[in-house]
Copies of this chain bind each other. A is one copy, B any other.
Amino acid sequence: MVEYALNLDYIFASLADSTRRDILRRVSSQELSVGEIASPYDLTFAAISKHLKVLEKAKLIIKRRRGKEQMVRLSPQALANVDKYLEAYRRLWEERLDSLENYLKETEE
């Protein structure tokens, strides 16, 4: 319960930064080393290392050592928790979309 709430704190805080969202996107399709992750950004390795720490604390990524590199990949479970969180609200925005659709349909006629 509390665990779950804390987890959402970490997950949402992680996702609130566009560099971290970009990292997530990139590791979602393939495992990358920390160096590979860092290279496109105009930031120090240490900064990227910190971003990865944040993502790791939120359990959004998993790191494993491969030789001298640390390999990083997405752990989709945390995002599934976000989806679960949204569940309670889905009906609300779908209703709104429905009424917009109806409105458009009626306007067509």
Contact = CB atoms under 8 A, between A and B. Distances in A.
B16 A16 contact: yes
Interface residues of A, number: 27
8 closest cross-chain pairs (CB), A and B? A76-B93, A12-B16, A13-B16, A80-B93, A76-B92, A12-B15, A79-B89, A12-B12
Nearest to A15: B12
Contacts of A93: 76-77, 79-80, 83
A32 interface: no
Interface stretch (A17-25, A34-42, A43-51, A62-70): A17-25
30 contacts: A8-B15, A8-B18, A9-B16, A9-B17, A9-B18, A12-B12, A12-B13, A12-B15, A13-B13, A13-B16, A16-B16, A25-B88, A28-B88, A28-B89, A28-B92, A74-B89, A74-B92, A76-B89, A76-B92, A76-B93, A76-B96, A79-B86, A79-B89, A79-B92, A79-B93, A80-B93, A83-B86, A83-B90, A83-B93, A86-B86
